[in-house]
Amino acid sequence: MNKLSTFLVACAFLLPGCGQETVSSGSPGHAGGSSFADIYAAAEQALAVAEAKRNVWSKTEGLLRDAKVANADGRIDEAIALATEAKLQAELASIQADTEAETWRTRVLSN
């Protein structure tokens, strides 16, 4: 989590788009021994946290829907990869909201 946070802060000063690459690198490898159901539940929970912070990214819910479909179709690796990516996105969105809760002030125009 700490690593992600550092990443996002760094991201804020680089060109946009850097967040995108990182989240798409979420792979089943991260999942270790967890089952799809566990990862899906964790992703939903992370999304609920981001939702409560009124800061959801636009593709996260779609990723979760796709994960569900892939799982139902028996494409388990793909399902796990999608749910992992959704979870990562939701976590990054939460960190973004937390970081921004104060950082926005540094951006306000003043003379």
Partner 1 sequence: MNNKILLLSVIIGLFVGAGATAGPEEDRTVMLEYYTGRFPDVPLQEFANGLYAFDEIAREQWIEMEDFPPYEIAIEDGQALFESPFANGKSYADCFDNGGIGIRQQYPHFDADLGEVVTLELAINQCRAANDEESLPYLIGDLAAISAYMSYTSRGNTINVKVPQDNPSALAAYESGKQYYYTRRGQLNFACMSCHVQSAGLMLRADRLSTTLGHATHWPVYRAKWGEIGTLQKRISECNSQVFAKPLQPQSIEYRNLEYFLTYMSNGLELNGPASRR
Which residues of the chain form contacts with partner 1 (CB under 8 A)?
A: 8, 11-13, 16-20, 23, 54-61, 89, 96-97, 100, 103-111
CB atoms within 10 A of CB 88: 21
36/50 with CB nearer partner 1: 50
* CA 36 to the chain's CA centroid: 17
What's the CA angle centered on 39, arms 50 and 42, to 5 degrees?
A: 35
Which of 89, 38, 45 has its CA nearest to residue 63?
89
Q: Which is nearer to partner 1, 32 or 54 (CB)?
A: 54
Which residue lies nearer to partner 1 by CB, 1 or 15? Answer: 15
CB of 73 to partner 1, least distance (A): 26
